[in-house]
């Protein structure tokens, strides 16, 4: 990962020059599969302490909204969840963070509200291609129970080896199944998406080959971190600093 880390230092320094460390921002945090707004519990107070406004989203069918899960809940529901947070909180020029599978959720939301999103920040996330075709799937080894994809200790241990002790117990007690349509539903992006500023955080233990990803020129600054797939739980302080450094120039 040496080459990846070198690339990250250059990118993040550039982002800091544009940002200005004293800027105040609004963050909309969208968690990935099996999670809810609870997953950002350690991150939210750290951002708020620095004066930033934070909205931690729980997508329909997970977290405290697990009772709304059904076989019909899919990507369109999730996109509307995010768009409604934007609309009903009168948000503008904010940092939209999508973790894991929620990368395609925030991409679709940004595509529909491109002038409102200051920076689209992918956190170890699925990154929809620019090609205007439907896309999106999940690994075959993840088992489907009816219309649900359950969380398991095997999944946690495969991409979150650094989640240990009380954090591991907490995560296993909060994670829920999620409707399989979240994984299977495609997204189609329009030309609006090209105008949205993007930034990236990649986790070395999150399951992707980060070195291979970095061989392709990214359309925004990036940072590679030594972490499993859930840095908001295992390294919240460092993650906050990385998010702020990559947040970009907000008008």
Confirm whether 32 is domain-assigned.
yes
- Is the pLDDT score of 251 beyond 50? no
Structural domain total, the chain:
1
pTM value is: 0.86
User: Pick the residue with more confidence: 118 or 17?
Assistant: 118
204-213 tens-digit pLDDT: 888 877 778 7
Q: What is the CATH number of the domain that holds 173?
A: 3.40.50.1820
Helix/strand/coil for 96: strand
State mean pLDDT over 28-35.
97
Confirm whether 251 is domain-assigned.
no
- Is the pLDDT score of 228 beyond 70? yes
Residue 4's pLDDT is what? 41
For 156-161, which contacts have Cβ atoms below 8 Å and span 24 or more sequence positions? 158/207, 159/205, 159/206, 159/207, 159/228, 159/229, 160/205, 160/228, 160/229, 160/230, 160/234, 161/205, 161/228
46-89 tens-digit pLDDT: 999 999 999 999 999 999 999 999 999 999 999 999 999 999 99
Confirm whether 50 is domain-assigned.
yes
Confirm whether 37 is domain-assigned.
yes
Confirm whether 9 is domain-assigned.
yes
Confirm whether 29 is domain-assigned.
yes
Q: At what angle do helices 75-88 and 102-112 cross, to 10 degrees?
A: 50
Helix/strand/coil for 6: helix
Confirm whether 116 is domain-assigned.
yes
Domain of residue 220, residue span: 2-246
231-250 tens-digit pLDDT: 999 999 999 999 999 987 43
Confirm whether 39 is domain-assigned.
yes
């Amino acid at each position: 990962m040496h080459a990846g880390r070198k690339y990250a230092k250059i990118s993040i320094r550039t982002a800091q020059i544009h940002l200005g460390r004293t800027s105040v921002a609004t963050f909309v945090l969208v968690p990935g599969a099996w999670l809810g707004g609870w997953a950002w519990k350690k991150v939210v107070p750290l951002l708020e302490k620095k004066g930033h406004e934070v909205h931690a989203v729980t997508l329909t069918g997970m977290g405290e909204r697990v009772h709304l899960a059904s076989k019909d809940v899919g990507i369109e529901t999730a996109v509307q969840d995010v768009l409604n947070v934007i609309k009903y909180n009168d948000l503008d020029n904010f940092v939209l963070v999508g973790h894991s599978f929620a990368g395609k959720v925030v991409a679709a939301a940004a595509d529909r509200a491109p002038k409102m999103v200051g920076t689209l920040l992918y956190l170890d996330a699925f990154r929809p291609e620019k090609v205007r075709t439907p896309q999106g799937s999940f690994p075959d080894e993840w088992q489907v129970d009816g219309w649900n994809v359950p969380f398991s200790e095997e999944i946690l241990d495969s991409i979150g080896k650094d989640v240990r002790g009380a954090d591991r117990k907490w995560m296993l007690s909060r994670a829920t199944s999620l409707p399989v349509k979240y994984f299977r539903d495609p997204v189609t992006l329009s030309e609006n998406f090209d105008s949205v500023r993007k930034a990236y955080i990649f986790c070395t233990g999150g399951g992707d080959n980060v070195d291979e990803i970095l061989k392709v020129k990214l359309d925004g600054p990036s940072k590679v971190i030594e972490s499993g797939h859930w840095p908001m739980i295992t390294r919240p302080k460092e993650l906050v600093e990385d998010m702020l450094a990559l947040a970009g120039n907000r008008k």
